[in-house]
Every structure is written in C-alpha cells, then in structure tokens.
C-alpha cells in the first residue's frame, strides 16, 4: 500500500486508464466470451448441487478426496461459483465499456449528414461514368429519397448514405443483453422457489412451513408469499398400455386466492401452470402414498395415514420409509411399493406398469432407535437402520395385515400425491423483453448493409457514380447498377 | 389409412430417400471421378466448340452433376414426405424422439444445401453432403429407431413446434457452414503444398468459401438465438424456470457463445481464412456434441431421445 501511495497521482490514473482500455478492448471481450463458453462445460458434465444434490452426495461417497478438492473449486456449483461470476461480470463490464461510448458516437452520427463527396470518385467502388443529359442529379435525388437514403447536396454532386440501422441494431442487441442480465439478477434477488408434496384430497396453504423445501433470494420477504390455498381434488395419469409411456397428467384443484375469496375450480397440467401474479404453481411430479395403520402390542393405533413414496423408475416402482417414533420401542418399515407387481430375477420385486393394477407393499420391519433426535436432517424416504434390528419381512396386498412381535401393520389402500412447485420470479418479464429486443437488434444488425453512394455532374456534362460498402456486404453493385439504369432511362 | 400404415409408409419413404441419396452420391462421385481422369483443359468451357470428343466429355460430366442434383431434390422430397407421414402416424409434429429429430435434421441439412444451391455454385458440396445425410439416416434407422408413439405430457405444447423447428433449421445451416469451413481448410492446405489437384480446380476459390460459411452463420445466428429463447420461454411454462443450466441448455449456450465469438472475430477483429474456419468448426462441433452426447448419455430434463 505504502509503495502505491508513493506513486505519482498521474501514474495511478494512467494505470487505471490502461487497465480499463485493456478490459474494454475487443480482444479481451472476445477472450472473455470464449472463456465463458469453456467455463460452462464442467457444469454440464459434473453433477451440480442446485440441479441434482443427490448425485453430488453419491459423488462425495464414491470419491471423497477428489470430491473435496473439486468442491474447493466450486465444481459442484459452477454457475454460482466466484470464478464463473468473475468471467461474466468482467464480460458485462467490458460490454458496457464498449457499447456506451459507441451509443453516444452513434447518436451523434445519426444526426450528422453524409460526408463530403470525395474528389476522385474513380477511386471508390463500382465507379461508372457517362455523358449525361443534365437532369441526372435531380433524378438521382428522387430515386435515393424513395429508397430512404440520407442525402446531402453539394454544388454539382450528391452524397447519400443508408444503413444506420446496422449500428442501431448492434447497440440494441448488446444493451438488450444487459437487460436480460438485470432480469436474471432481479429474479435471483427477489424470487423464491419451493416444492411441496400434497396427497390427493389434502390442501396446500402458501406459508413457509407447508413447504418441503423452500429457497429464496436475498431480498425476498416472507410477506411476499401470496396467501392462496390450493385443495387437490383429483389427479389423473394416463399411460400408453403398449409402451407404458405417460400420455397425460391432469390435476384438478380448488383455489382460494386469499382468505375469504370465492372457491374457484382450476386445472393444472404439465405445460399449463396456475398463476398468481408473478407466482406460478407447476405440476412437477407424482407418485403413490400407501395408506397404512400401525398398531402396537396393545392394539392401540400408533400411526395411520398416507405415506408418500419416491418413484424410482418409469413404472413407478417406489421406495419409502414408514417411521413410527411414538411406539416403544421405535418401529421402522423399510418399504417399497409396486403399483403393478412382478418379480425380476435380478432386481427382485418390481413394477411393470405405472398404474395401480396389482399393488403390493413390500417391507422389512425394524425396531430400535430411528435416530430422529440426533439433529441431523434425515430423508423421509430412508431409514438409518444402524441402531435397529430386523424383526420381520413381508409383502402385503390392499386390505391385508401383518402381525409381528411388537405389533401389526395393515395396508389400508393407496392415495396419489403430486409435487407442486411454486415459483416467483419478478425478473422474468425484463428478461423476456430483453430477449425480444436482442433478436430484433440482431436482425437489424446482421441484415442491414451500411453503404454510401455519390453522384457528380462534372463541368463537361459527364455524370459520375460510385459507392462504398462499409461492411463489405454484397449488393451495392446491383444497387448502383439499378440507379444508373434508372438515370439513363429517364435521361432519354 | 390407419396410424400404423402411415408409420409403415413413413419408413418406406425414409428407405427410398436413402436409396435416392445413394444414387445422388454415385452421380456426384462419377462427376468428380471423371474430372480426375480428365487431361488438363478439357473441363475448360472454351473447348466447347472444339473437338467432338472433348465437348462430349464436358457435357457428360455436366449431365452427371445435373442428375446428381435432381437426385438430391428427389431425396429431399421423399424424406419430406417420410417426415410428414411419420407425424401423421403419431398425430402430432414428428419431433418426439431422437429418431425423428435425426430424420428431420437430415431433411433440414439437405434443405439448407438446396436452398443455398439456388444462389451459389455449390453443386460440388453434394458429394460430402450425400455421405453425411446417408450417415445420419443410417444411424437413425438402425440405432435410434423407435416405433411411432404419442408425445409424453412434457412435450405437449405448441412451443414444441416453434422451439424444435427453429433448432433443427439452425442445425441444418450450421452443418452446411461447417462442411464449407472444412472444405476451406482442406483446399487451403492443398494450395499451401502447391496448386490444387485437378478435380479440385472446379471448386470455388478460398475467398468465396470463406465468405460463404460466414454468411450462412450470420444468416442463421438470429434464428438460433430465437430457438434458445423459445426454449427458455417453454421451460418457464413447463418447469418453472426459464434458465436452469440443464446440460442441454448449457451446451446450447456454449454453441451460442461460440458463434457469437466467431461473428465478433470476423466483423470486429477481422479474422479471415484458417483461423475463422477453425473457430466455425469448433462452434459447429459444440452443436453436434449437444445433439449426440447430451441426448444419449447426458442427464437432465431434455431426455427425449427415447433410447
């Protein structure tokens, strides 16, 4: 620090100016652009925490040392990592530093008139000359005006220019990219995203406690959650009997916008979410909840109700955990649910069709300590059986009961659950407008040619025409040929 | 006609298109092979009024070239009918799995070639293009083929038509630009060793190739931008976020960034020739990687290959 303050004032300023000029140079922008592309690669090949936390956990379990090192370089959250952010922030600074001065230049240029007609037109492109009739200049002016050229008249010559849209579009495109980035940031700062599993027949109230998972931006406030209630009335999944592929999911709900508001029936589908202002409710996943009744030795009910199970494959072979912490000793059922049961030589019990045609509940019974009071969050679909002993193994059809030493379990029936995803993104409109402007700007910039045309009538009655295409794009030759043909025809 | 007979018809049409593309390939190969054996000067237009034999030779290769182009057009039409009947058989747009993406992609690729052919002297490209199209269709029908079936719920949206058609057309033009850039690099290294070989003398100059691949990219870049954005809007409808760094999205972004860098390098930094051609090839290969690798081995939400 002390050394820096010894530097003369001018040195620091010119150093900063040098750094700024380097950053906003086209070469740096190009390198940053390519770097951004390269930096995006690892995130598509390595599992990412925001997209797939389970896979990241597996990765850590399989390669602990490597994973720890990769974690140090944020390789499990590439797109939120400091180095990725550094690249795109530098890129946008460079972009702003490049685009803003050009915007001012362009504003000035768009008010300016075309340049003075060069003295030697024969040094320009597509030069032509012929003996004129005298009316060519007026005729050319009319023709150029019709074609929306910007015209500047001199004594004996006309200078015309067209294609300012190229730079306008170019600048619009880059400014629109900034708008998209603003939209993304607003969404990240003021948005929220949560998920909730709701059994058919149950209701969802939009308060933080009803979510299974909820994350929000730094500037989001709980009060911003709109106070709606969704009652899940019915869920229908249709499958193709030949391929087992899903054909349609329809979720019927009753919605109350806010306390006291009338009940409204609505339908949610995969591609048509339910909207509450900038908050949308999506149908994200579905599965089965076996309904069970667990009794202890005395016959008293210690657990009753639907337990959501997690689907493992396209035929909804599902796994789940039935935890009974209120019995003594604690009981746990490590279970799987098969909507249409079959046996597979390798995998054992599997489902062969996603609809509940021949449902079966398979489980092992464990007693001991469920470990729920350790403070470490547990998956609701798994049981830590390290402090438990296995006391039974059974497979039940609907209505059947299994009795074991510590009590009994009855498989009462099946309900379905849906996973609702609730998202608020107040920035998305900005991004959308930015996207539309960006495309319009791009079209203007890539499909407009900037070019100049000059016409001079020399003292001896000769007419000279020439042009200059600024972007090297083709077409000017034709345009000049058309102009010349027009002048020659009308001259006669 | 029932749905399954439309599906059969589609398969027959795709097979026929492959047959016709094979004929196009042989016609192009004949045209080129003849040029190799030709003594110098015979291909020259000035010999037209010369000896009978020479004139005959010239028209014969011209005819082969014309026949080849006719086969390319016929192949395009058959493939078009094949794609359409595939759609009819499933009662939807034919973009539900990777087999369908591939046959439509091959269609877009040939379409881009035939479209560019109207304006530029590109007939010579027919040889590599007929090979590529045969490779794409061959892979599609042997490895990727899946019976015609309705769409999964996530794909039931009008955005499928908008997003996928824009992406496929962009892909076709990118492939064409890539082929031209590759031809540029090949001919350039040939010229650096000496002069062009006999058969290559009929091909356009390096400058023309350089300009052409740039023009194709500049022409289709806004469409690709639109395809990515339409995808984002659809993702917002279906998945609740318009951008989520899904592998497919990430690679679409990488392709976009690469082509943006290519355009900047040409327009503002003034890259031409080899450097530009390599960058063009790189950008195009990110598109191919996205299509092949991410579709088949990738994870994420774009798992519609049906494999």
Same domain as A35, residue A95: yes
Q: Looking at residues B47-52, what average pLDDT do you find?
A: 41
What distance in Å separates residue B114's CA from the closest CA in chain A? 21
**Are B172 and B136 a contacting pair, CB within 8 Å?**
no
Does some domain include residue A310?
yes
Same domain as A51, residue A68: yes
Q: pLDDT confidence of B59, banded at 50, 70, 90?
A: low
Instruction: Specify the pTM.
Output: 0.85
ipTM for the predicted complex comes to 0.84
What distance in Å separates residue A249's CA from the closest CA in chain B? 7
Of A442-446, B150-154, B163-167, B271-275, the range with the lowest mean pLDDT is B150-154
State the total domains in chain A: 4
Tokens of A65: 């040392």
Same domain as A472, residue A383: no
Q: Which residue has the higher pLDDT, B106 or B48?
A: B106
Q: pLDDT confidence of A3, banded at 50, 70, 90?
A: very low
What distance in Å separates residue A428's CA from the closest CA in chain B? 8
Q: pLDDT confidence of B58, banded at 50, 70, 90?
A: very low
Q: pLDDT confidence of B292, banded at 50, 70, 90?
A: confident
Tokens of B11: 């398969």
**Per-residue pLDDT at B71:** 95
**Per-residue pLDDT at A252:** 96
CB contact under 8 A, B242 and A431: yes
Q: Is A146 exposed, middle or buried (0-12, 13-18, 19+ CB in 10 A)?
A: exposed
**Per-residue pLDDT at B48:** 42
CB contact under 8 A, A243 and B240: no
Cβ-nearest to A26 among B147, B233, B269: B269
CB contact under 8 A, B250 and A249: no
Residue numbers in A near B243 (CB within 8 A) = 184
Same domain as A409, residue A370: yes
Q: Looking at residues A52-69, what average pLDDT do you find?
A: 88
Same domain as A411, residue A309: yes
Q: Looking at residues B273-302, what average pLDDT do you find?
A: 88
Q: Looking at residues B231-249, what average pLDDT do you find?
A: 90
Report the length, in residues, of chain B: 307
Q: What is the DSSP-derived secondary structure letter of residue A156?
A: T
Q: pLDDT confidence of B16, banded at 50, 70, 90?
A: very high
**Per-residue pLDDT at B135:** 93
Alpha carbon distances (Å) from A391 to A323, A333, A362, A403, B74: 15, 10, 14, 11, 72
Same domain as A277, residue A216: yes
Portion 140-179 of B in contact with A at CB < 8 A: 147, 149-150, 152-154, 156-157, 159
Among A337, A43, A71, CA closest to B253: A43
Q: Which of B166, B242, B285 is the best substitution to test chain A (most A C-beta atoms within 10 A)?
A: B242
CB contact under 8 A, A40 and B250: yes
**Start-to-end C-alpha separation, chain A:** 81
Residue numbers in B near A285 (CB within 8 A) = none
Q: pLDDT confidence of B251, banded at 50, 70, 90?
A: very high
What distance in Å separates residue A52's CA from the closest CA in chain B? 9
**Are B175 and B284 a contacting pair, CB within 8 Å?**
yes
Same domain as A412, residue A292: yes
Q: What is the pLDDT of residues A316-331, one digit of tens each?
A: 999 999 999 988 889 9
**Are B265 and B283 a contacting pair, CB within 8 Å?**
no
**Per-residue pLDDT at B47:** 45
Cross-strand pairs, A390: A366
**Per-residue pLDDT at A488:** 82
Does some domain include residue A443?
no
**Per-residue pLDDT at B42:** 47
Same domain as A337, residue A241: no
**Per-residue pLDDT at A358:** 93
Does some domain include residue A172?
no
For residue A164, which phi and psi values (nearest 5 degrees)?
Answer: -65, -20
Closest residue on chain A to B154 (Cα): A270
CB contact under 8 A, A245 and B251: no
Closest residue on chain A to B304 (Cα): A245
**Per-residue pLDDT at A83:** 93
Q: pLDDT confidence of B305, banded at 50, 70, 90?
A: low
Does some domain include residue A74?
yes
What distance in Å separates residue A423's CA from the closest CA in chain B? 6
Does some domain include residue A182?
no
Cβ-nearest to A435 among B153, B229, B254: B229
Cis check for the bond before A329: say yes or no (omega within 30 of 0).
Answer: yes
Residues 6+ apart with CB under 8 A from A259: A227
CB contact under 8 A, A423 and B251: no
**Above 70 in pLDDT, residue B50?**
no
Q: Which of A58, A85, A271, A273 is the best substitution to test chain B (most B C-beta atoms within 10 A)?
A: A271
Same domain as A253, residue A192: yes
* Mean model confidence pLDDT for chain A: 88
Of A276-285, A370-379, B102-111, the range with the lowest mean pLDDT is A370-379
User: Hey, is the C-beta of B91 within 8 angstroms of any chain A C-beta?
Assistant: no
Does some domain include residue A177?
no
What distance in Å separates residue A50's CA from the closest CA in chain B? 9
Q: Looking at residues B213-228, what average pLDDT do you find?
A: 94
Residue B32 region by backbone torsions, left for phi larger than 0, else alpha for psi between -120 and 50, else beta: alpha
**Above 70 in pLDDT, residue A473?**
no
Does some domain include residue A183?
no
Q: Which residue has the higher pLDDT, A470 or B28?
A: B28
Find the domain containing A233 and state its range: 188-285+421-436
Residue numbers in B near A443 (CB within 8 A) = 222
Percent of chain A residues past pLDDT 90, beyond the cut: 47
**Are B6 and B85 a contacting pair, CB within 8 Å?**
yes
Does some domain include residue A402?
yes
Q: What is the pLDDT of residues B162-214, one digit of tens each?
A: 999 999 999 999 999 999 999 999 999 999 988 887 777 778 889 889 999 99
Q: Which residue has the higher pLDDT, B51 or A291?
A: A291
Q: pLDDT confidence of A274, banded at 50, 70, 90?
A: very high
Cross-strand pairs, A388: A368
Residue A204 in 3-state DSSP?
strand
**Per-residue pLDDT at B43:** 47
Same domain as A131, residue A88: no
Q: pLDDT confidence of B54, banded at 50, 70, 90?
A: very low
**Are B211 and B153 a contacting pair, CB within 8 Å?**
no
Q: How many other C-beta atoms are found inside a 10 Å radius of the C-beta of residue B194?
A: 7
Same domain as A352, residue A377: yes
CB contact under 8 A, A273 and B240: yes
Cβ-nearest to B260 among A26, A33, A443: A33
CB contact under 8 A, B264 and A37: no
Closest residue on chain A to B156 (Cα): A271
Q: pLDDT confidence of B20, banded at 50, 70, 90?
A: very high
* Mean model confidence pLDDT for chain B: 85
């Amino acid at each position: 620090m002390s050394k820096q303050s010894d530097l003369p004032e001018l040195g620091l300023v010119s150093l900063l100016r040098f750094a700024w000029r380097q950053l906003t140079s086209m070469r740096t922008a190009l390198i940053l652009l390519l770097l951004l592309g390269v930096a995006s690669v690892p995130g598509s090949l390595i599992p990412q925490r925001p997209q797939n936390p389970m896979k990241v956990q597996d990765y850590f379990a399989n390669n602990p040392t490597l994973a720890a090192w990769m974690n140090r370089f944020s390789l499990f959250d590439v797109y939120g990592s400091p180095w990725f952010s550094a690249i795109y922030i530098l890129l946008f600074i460079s972009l702003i530093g490049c685009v803003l001065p050009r915007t001012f230049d362009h504003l000035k240029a768009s008010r300016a008139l075309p340049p003075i007609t060069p003295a030697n037109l024969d040094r320009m492109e597509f030069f032509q000359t012929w003996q004129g009739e005298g009316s060519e200049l007026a005729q050319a002016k009319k023709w150029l005006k019709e074609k929306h050229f910007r015209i500047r008249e001199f004594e004996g010559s006309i200078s015309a220019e067209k294609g300012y849209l190229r730079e306008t579009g170019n600048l619009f495109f880059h400014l629109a990219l900034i708008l998209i980035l603003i939209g993304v940031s607003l969404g990240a700062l003021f948005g929220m995203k949560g998920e909730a599993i709701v059994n058919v027949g149950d209701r969802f109230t939009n308060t933080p406690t009803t979510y299974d998972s909820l994350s929000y931006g730094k500037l989001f406030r709980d009060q911003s959650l709109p106070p709606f209630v969704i009652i899940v009335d019915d869920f229908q999944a249709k499958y193709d009997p030949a391929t087992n592929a899903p054909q349609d999911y329809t979720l019927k709900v009753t919605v109350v916008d806010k306390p006291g508001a009338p009940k409204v029936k609505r339908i949610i589908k995969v591609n048509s979410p339910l909207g509450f202002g900038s908050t949308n409710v999506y149908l994200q996943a579905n599965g089965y909840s076996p309904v069970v009744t667990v009794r202890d030795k005395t016959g008293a009910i210690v657990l009753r109700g639907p337990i959501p199970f997690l689907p493992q494959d396209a035929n909804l072979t599902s796994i789940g955990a039935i935890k009974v912490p209120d019995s003594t000793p604690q009981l746990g059922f490590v279970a799987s649910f098969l909507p249409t049961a079959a046996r597979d030589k390798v995998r054992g019990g599997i489902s062969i069709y996603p609809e509940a045609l021949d449902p079966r509940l398979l489980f092992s019974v464990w007693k001991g300590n469920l470990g729920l009071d350790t403070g470490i969050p547990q998956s609701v679909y798994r049981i830590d059986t390290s402090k438990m002993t296995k006391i039974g193994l059974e497979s039940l059809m609907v209505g059947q009961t299994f009795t074991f030493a510590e009590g009994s379990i009855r498989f009462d029936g099946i309900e379905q659950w849906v996973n609702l995803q609730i998202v608020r993104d107040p920035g998305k409109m900005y991004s959308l407008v930015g996207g539309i402007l960006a495309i319009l700007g791009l079209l203007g910039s890539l499909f407009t040619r900037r070019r100049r045309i000059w016409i001079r009538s020399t003292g001896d009655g000769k007419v000279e025409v020439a042009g200059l295409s600024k972007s090297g794009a083709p077409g000017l030759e034709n345009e000049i040929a058309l102009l010349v043909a027009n002048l020659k025809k009308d001259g006669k | 006609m029932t749905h399954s007979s439309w599906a059969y018809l589609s398969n027959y049409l795709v097979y026929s298109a492959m047959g016709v593309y094979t004929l196009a390939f042989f016609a192009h190969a004949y045209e080129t092979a003849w040029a190799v054996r030709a003594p110098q000067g015979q291909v020259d237009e000035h010999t037209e009024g010369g000896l009978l034999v020479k004139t005959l030779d010239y028209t014969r290769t011209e005819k082969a070239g014309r026949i080849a182009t006719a086969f390319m057009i016929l192949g395009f039409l058959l493939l078009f009918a094949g794609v359409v009947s595939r759609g009819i058989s499933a009662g939807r747009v034919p973009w539900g799995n990777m087999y369908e993406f591939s046959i439509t992609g091959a269609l877009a690729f040939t379409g881009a070639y035939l479209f560019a052919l109207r304006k530029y002297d590109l007939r010579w490209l027919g040889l590599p293009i007929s090979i590529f199209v045969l490779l794409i269709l061959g892979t599609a029908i042997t490895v990727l083929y899946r019976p015609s079936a309705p769409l999964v719920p996530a794909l039931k949206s009008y955005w499928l038509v908008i997003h996928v058609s824009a992406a496929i057309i962009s892909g076709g033009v990118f492939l064409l630009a890539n082929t031209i850039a590759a031809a540029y690099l090949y001919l350039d290294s040939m010229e650096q060793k000496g002069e062009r070989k006999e058969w290559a003398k009929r091909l356009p100059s390096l400058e023309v190739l350089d300009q052409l691949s740039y023009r194709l990219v500049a022409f289709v870049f806004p469409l690709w931008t639109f395809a990515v954005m339409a995808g984002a809007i659809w993702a917002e409808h279906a998945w609740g976020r318009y951008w989520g760094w899904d592998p497919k999205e990430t690679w679409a972004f990488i392709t976009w960034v690469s082509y943006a860098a290519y355009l900047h390098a040409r327009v503002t930094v003034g890259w031409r020739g080899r450097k530009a051609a390599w960058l063009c090839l790189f950008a195009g290969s990110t598109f191919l990687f996205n299509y092949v690798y991410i579709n088949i081995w990738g994870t994420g939400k774009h798992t519609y290959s049906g494999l």
